[in-house]
Structure 1
């Protein structure tokens, strides 16, 4: 892993792909155990969670489905604080076991709004599985049961996360410097 340049920013190596793979496998094992008899619907939040969702689905050994939604709250390297739903969920979720798949939870604005919207549709259960969480950034109290890696407040790219559209394709994760 060597440093990369995206737009006008430099990024240093942070987390190798092997560490991410281990975190995804551990999440998969927990979800398989917890949803063994429930046939969950995984709701992946695009665009950032696409790699995480794909790799996690490969770890799932229980009957399950996946759907995709798209929300946005970022511009550049900072959150706008405003959540905009771009592409909505078409599947009926009432009475179903739902697991939201998110790449990263930092302020919690997006996740709070998403949980509120989905709870109104009366699922049987509603949980969040996030690959990354930044505890020191959280501005909302969220009960997130499935966390891959807890990280400090660093702006990261790679493994689906981007900086203004670039960097999602890297298997490793890099942090801004």
Structure 2
């Protein structure tokens, strides 16, 4: 098993890049079918979803405008309660179709707070696509329209996800090695 060391933790290979790219192709086909012939606004949640967005958006076969929003919800390996984001940026989506690209949904806290603000903008439609989903960790029910991989509660890094700002650039996804 391939292992890597990040800061003070050891991680093992969990999802290889080839499987990630296959899943992204599958998600892109689903999204293309759902939005064929439509104009879509896409909101990429940074920093984590950048690699996911960079891989999936070139596969889209419809017109879209991409927007990027910095969202902070983690410190180390723990999800914190309040998230930080720019509410002014979100005003531009009033009356539009919006797709959020997210790297991972675990507690649902980030998307709950963000979607409450967005739904107040009277969107035409709000949809969410996530590469990873942890249903056992979910504390806030969030409707997810496009899901890549359902995973357990393990802490993961790579393909945009980090541990203390390390490992985000890894092309594969790794999970924390059990001690």
TM-score clears 0.5: yes
Identify which range, 74-83 or 99-108, moves more after superposition: 74-83
Shift of 1:63: 1.1
| Pairing of 1:96-111 with structure 2 (within 5 A) | 96-111=96-111
Match of 2:139 in 1: 139
CA distance in 2, matches of 1:124, 1:167: 37
Match of 2:27 in 1: 27
| Pairing of 1:147-166 with structure 2 (within 5 A) | 147-166=147-166
Query: Per-residue displacement from partner, 1:45-97 (whole Å, max 9, x unpaired)?
Result: 00000000011101101111110011111100011122122585267211211
Extract unaligned runs of 5+ from structure 1. Answer: none
- Size of the alignment, in residue pairs? 177
TM-score w.r.t. structure 2 length?
0.95
TM-score w.r.t. structure 1 length?
0.96
Query: Per-residue displacement from partner, 1:92-151 (whole Å, max 9, x unpaired)?
Result: 211211000000000000010011111111111001000000000000111111101100
More helix by share: 2
Q: CA RMSD in A?
A: 1.4
CA distance in 1, matches of 2:91, 2:51: 21
| Pairing of 1:34-49 with structure 2 (within 5 A) | 34-49=34-49
Whether the 8 Å contact between 1:99 and 1:129 is mirrored in structure 2 is: yes
Runs (4 or more) in structure 1 with deviation over 2 Å come to 86-91
Extract unaligned runs of 5+ from structure 2. Answer: none
Q: What SS class does the counterpart of residue 143 from structure 1 fall into?
A: coil
